[in-house]
């Protein structure tokens, strides 16, 4: 289910997602009772500087794909007006960043006072500017090239800061914690020095109960474990609400290839993925050689807690002598019917560094239902997983050797992993599938059907 399919308070049945969303009645009732929906001026009251410019401000936000986030958006969600919101945080798409800057300076008469981003946000924020007018402050940031605005939202210092809105709706991550007035510090918040703390990870948390980890649960974390990866389109932790169909908040997720995790370790002693247990496991980002295949396969078999689902794929290491059948685990916390997004392919092809907390991986895979110009060969969907261009620094020797035998000069950069899907979902690849995979790869190279980023 895509959590950005928001539901109107007046909606009654009929919609395929209605029953599922209405099952979260306690959350919905809280939002519907506290959120002021009808009047655009109510949005403006979250920042008093905007009171007389609500319509033009929201129009500018819509034109530049700009989102409001932080304490102002959270005040809209909870109805908390006891704490005046002096600061407004904006996250703007790259192509609208300069337009919004001009709007704030020329139309609202704000003065730019800084262009320094907080060091804890350096992995997601490309550029950041701060503006002032009287006692009011506006901080506007834009993601790094190739990143989505949600990369910035999900790099917030705490879960309570993962709230965002536009002129037509509001969405929040970890809505149950938000309902209960809880906030958990993320990797970004942990990187903030006491002298430069940001968001709800700091001292000013507006009455929230701030926790440094999930140990307060006093039980296993389950899907709330900070080490688990989630995809925006399938996460149970995201709740969205629209009040205007013309500027729906669900549009933010259209084609959004964004995955995230809160932290790289868990300190909850009751969680099976806590730091003490996981520290004994082997971690790596990408493999290349025959020796890597043997070592990683052995380590995956010894991993604790044991992966619930493991599928078999075909691995073409950048420095391997032959293709290998290798185990490809499904990430912890994935649904019972996992998809390609749930595969932990990073053991074999480096799609993100171990120290990364938000990533985009769909752009690094291609799925084929037939071999180009040779119909009827494949008995399922074959997906090729590539390494990210920055990590694929050398040409794949194995595939180059295969290509030369067929008179082809095209090659692939970095290691390659092939997975298979059938009518019922993911399948194991067997020895007899290696010939099919080889034929597919050779044909793709011969007819130049692969993305340019994967070839020199």
User: Residue 17 in contact with residue 10, Cβ under 8 Å?
Assistant: no
Whether residue 371 sits in one domain with residue 430: yes
**Rounded-to-integer distance, Cα 167 and Cα 85, Å:** 18
| Domain count along the chain | 2
| Last residue within a domain, chosen from 227, 260, 293 | 260
Query: Is pLDDT at 409 greater than 90 in this prediction?
Result: no
Within a domain: 176: yes
Within a domain: 272: no
Whether residue 316 sits in one domain with residue 206: no
Whether residue 29 sits in one domain with residue 143: yes
- Bridge partners (DSSP) listed for residue 129: 140
Whether residue 205 sits in one domain with residue 135: yes
How large is the C-alpha radius of gyration of the chain?
A: 24
Q: CA 336 → CA 94, 239, 427, distances in Å?
A: 37, 22, 14
What's the token pair of residue 295? 């070592």
Whether residue 137 sits in one domain with residue 29: yes
User: Residue 304 in contact with residue 265, Cβ under 8 Å?
Assistant: no
Whether residue 303 sits in one domain with residue 207: no
Within a domain: 9: no
Return the pLDDT at 392: 86
CB atoms within 10 A of CB 134: 9
Return the pLDDT at 119: 85
User: Residue 41 in contact with residue 275, Cβ under 8 Å?
Assistant: no
**Rounded-to-integer distance, Cα 7 and Cα 150, Å:** 21
User: Residue 372 in contact with residue 445, Cβ under 8 Å?
Assistant: no
Q: E strand or H helix at 340, and its extent?
A: none
Give the mean model confidence (pLDDT) for residues 302-328: 96
What's the token pair of residue 408? 């082809």
Return the pLDDT at 195: 46
Whether residue 309 sits in one domain with residue 418: yes
Nearest partner of 455 among 326, 360, 446, 419, judged by Cα: 446
User: Residue 186 in contact with residue 158, Cβ under 8 Å?
Assistant: yes
User: Residue 439 in contact with residue 377, Cβ under 8 Å?
Assistant: yes
Q: Which of 10-19, 104-113, 260-269 has the lowest mean pLDDT?
A: 10-19
Return the pLDDT at 452: 61
Whether residue 174 sits in one domain with residue 209: yes
Within a domain: 303: yes
| Last residue within a domain, chosen from 260, 295, 311 | 260
Q: Which of 107-121, 183-197, 212-226, 402-416 has the lowest mean pLDDT?
A: 183-197
**Rounded-to-integer distance, Cα 191 and Cα 391, Å:** 25
Q: Which structural domain, as residue segments, surrounds residue 195?
A: 18-260
Query: Is pLDDT at 262 greater than 50 in this prediction?
Result: yes
């Amino acid at each position: 289910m895509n959590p950005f399919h928001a539901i109107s308070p007046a909606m009654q049945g009929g919609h395929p997602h209605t029953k599922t969303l209405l099952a979260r009645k306690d959350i919905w009732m809280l939002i519907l009772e506290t959120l002021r929906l009808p009047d655009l001026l109510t949005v403006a009251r979250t920042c008093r500087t905007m009171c007389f410019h609500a319509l033009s401000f929201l129009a500018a936000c819509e034109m530049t794909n700009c989102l409001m986030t932080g304490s102002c958006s959270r005040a809209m969600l909870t109805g908390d007006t006891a704490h005046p919101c002096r600061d407004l945080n904006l996250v703007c798409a790259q192509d609208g960043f300069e337009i919004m800057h001009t709007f704030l300076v020329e139309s609202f008469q704000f003065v730019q006072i800084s262009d320094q981003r907080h060091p804890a946000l350096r992995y997601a924020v490309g550029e950041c500017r701060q503006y002032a007018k009287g006692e009011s402050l506006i901080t506007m940031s834009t993601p790094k090239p190739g990143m989505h605005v949600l990369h910035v939202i999900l790099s917030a210092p705490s879960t309570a800061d993962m709230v965002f809105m536009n002129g037509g709706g509001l969405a929040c991550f970890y809505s149950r914690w938000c309902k209960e007035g809880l906030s958990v510090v993320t990797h970004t918040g942990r990187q903030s020095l006491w002298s430069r703390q940001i968001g709800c990870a700091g001292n000013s948390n507006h009455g929230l109960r701030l926790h440094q980890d999930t140990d307060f649960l006093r039980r296993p974390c389950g899907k709330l474990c900070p080490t688990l990866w989630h995809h925006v389109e399938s996460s149970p932790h995201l709740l969205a609400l629209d009040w205007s169909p013309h500027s729906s908040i669900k549009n933010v997720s259209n084609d959004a290839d964004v995955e995230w995790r809160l932290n790289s370790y868990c300190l909850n002693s009751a969680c099976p993925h806590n730091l003490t247990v996981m520290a004994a496991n082997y971690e790596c980002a990408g493999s290349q050689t025959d020796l890597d295949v043997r070592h990683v396969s052995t380590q995956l078999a010894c991993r604790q807690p044991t992966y619930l689902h493991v599928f078999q794929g075909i691995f073409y290491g950048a420095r391997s002598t032959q293709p290998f059948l290798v185990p490809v685990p499904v990430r912890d916390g994935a649904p019972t019917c996992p998809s390609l997004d749930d595969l932990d392919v990073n053991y074999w092809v480096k799609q993100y560094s171990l120290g990364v907390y938000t990533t985009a991986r769909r752009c690094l895979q291609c799925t084929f239902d037939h071999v180009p110009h040779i119909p009827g060969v494949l008995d399922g969907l074959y997906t090729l997983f590539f390494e990210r261009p920055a990590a694929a620094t050398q040409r794949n020797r194995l595939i180059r050797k295969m290509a030369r035998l067929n008179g082809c000069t095209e090659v692939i950069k970095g290691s390659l992993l092939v997975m298979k899907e059938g009518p019922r979902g993911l399948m194991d690849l067997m020895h007899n599938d290696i010939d099919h995979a080889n034929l597919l790869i050779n044909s793709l190279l011969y007819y130049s059907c692969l993305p340019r980023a994967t070839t020199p």
